């Protein structure tokens, strides 16, 4: 429990920020899972539509500070490679 007014405010800010970060992270993870599920099912039309949406979600997560930019680049690269491999089959 905070003992100072500034510590109480910091606790309120941390709580609000944590909720925002959880929401953004959840949205990101859901988008990635949808794309991976579409890749596993082999549905090319869904995969083609989901890739730009997922990349957008990843970029937004970086802008909001939820995801590191190098991690985002890694995710985008790997997902794009998998989509391209699936398209060639």
| Pair 80, 32: CB distance under 8 Å | no
Number of independent structural domains in the chain: 1
Residue 54's domain is classified under what CATH number? 1.20.58.110
pLDDT digits (tens, 9 = 90+) for 12-71: 999 999 999 999 999 999 999 999 999 999 889 899 999 999 999 999 999 999 999 999
Record the pTM: 0.86
CB-CB contact of 39 with 32 (8 Å): no
CB atoms within 10 A of CB 18: 10
What gap in Å lies between CA 70 and CA 55, rounded to an integer?
A: 14
Task: Specify whether the CB–CB gap between 79 and 35 falls below 8 A.
Answer: yes
Output DSSP code: residue 65.
Answer: T
* Domain residue limits at 44: 5-88
């Amino acid at each position: 429990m905070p003992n100072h007014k500034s510590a109480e405010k910091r606790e309120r800010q941390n709580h609000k920020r944590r909720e925002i970060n959880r929401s953004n992270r959840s949205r990101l993870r859901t988008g990635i899972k949808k794309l991976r599920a579409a890749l596993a099912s082999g549905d090319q039309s869904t995969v083609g539509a989901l890739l730009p949406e997922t990349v957008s979600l990843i970029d937004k997560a970086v802008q909001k500070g939820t995801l590191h930019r190098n991690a985002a680049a890694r995710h985008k690269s790997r997902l794009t490679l998998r989509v391209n491999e699936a398209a060639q089959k």
